[in-house]
Amino acid sequence: MSDVAIRVSGLRKTYQGRAAVDGLDLTVRRGEVFSLLGPNGAGKSTTVEILEGYRSRDGGEVAVLGHDPAEATAEWKSRIGIVLQRVDDLAQSSELTVREWVSSVAAYFPDPMRPDDAIELVGLADKRDARSSSLSGGQRRRLDVALGIIGRPELLFLDEPTTGFDPEARRQFWGLIESLADAGTTILLTTHYLDEAEHLADRVAVINAGRIIEVGAPATLGGRATAAATVRWIGADGPQELTTDEPTRTVLELAARFGGGEVPELVVERPSLEDVYLRMIGSPE
């Protein structure tokens, strides 16, 4: 079995003469959480829809789990899971229970999980007999994931999974995604939340104007790990700031200056993921 889950080369898609995806290259390894970052209109959704087999392409080569999504078979579809961006769908107003929903979707797969196992995995065990219309927003999103993983997917697509969540619900959902990743599921995540990508993703790709700008680990993207650091503190004349390639030396010198004690309000910062992301897409910081 190949260690590559997704391989894309020269992908192109145009709408009315405008390139939505313009020669995009991308590789996602099996077992990793890979995040696509980019502004609205950058080409993220079009790219993901092509990978899922829901949209045709105008050019380029695409292999997902070793097959071209444009020639998708039922067997190939059973190997992927899809959790779309939340919309007002039937499940939100349905009188079916959580168990009934998951059981009905399980019937479409050749080797599904036990419905109760999927329900427990997403943290809805105490809601298995509740009608889906009675669930909270976060619980409905967990139901979405249960429906996405019931077929034991090798690859899971997550589209803006925590949009509209409060901070506590987002953190809980992150734990769910981490448990799926720990079990070996390859995950392709699209999100507008940079902290979410930084927390969950092994690697991120920044996409803009239909092209990949850079791919890397969140901690190293855009040269973050080696970028100059900004050291801030409160001195005798008020707030002080110094940008340096040697922050450790600066901190030691400050500590000596303050007699080996605490340096007032000392902060050492390198560029955040948001800083490098905004620079890459050309947005004002």
Residue 4 lies in a domain: no
Residue 102 lies in a domain: no
Residue 237 lies in a domain: yes
- Mean pLDDT of all residues in 221-225: 85
Residue 161's Cβ-count burial label (10 Å; 0-12, 13-18, 19+) is: buried
Residue 257 lies in a domain: yes
The domain total for the chain is 1
Residue 254 lies in a domain: yes
Residue 285 has what pLDDT? 47
Residue 233 lies in a domain: yes
Residue 258 lies in a domain: yes
Residue 162 lies in a domain: no
What's the domain range around 252?
228-269
pTM for the full model? 0.84
Question: Percent of the chain, pLDDT > 90?
Answer: 59
3-state secondary structure 95-155: CCEHHHHHHHHHCCCCCCCCHHHHHHHCCCHHHCCCEHHHCCHHHHHHHHHHHHHCCCCCE
Instruction: Place 271 in a pLDDT band, splitting at 50, 70 and 90.
Output: confident
Locate tokens 């390894």: which residue?
Answer: 29
Query: What average pLDDT is seen over the chain?
Result: 89
Question: Percent of the chain, pLDDT > 70?
Answer: 96
DSSP state for residue 214 in the 8-state scheme: E
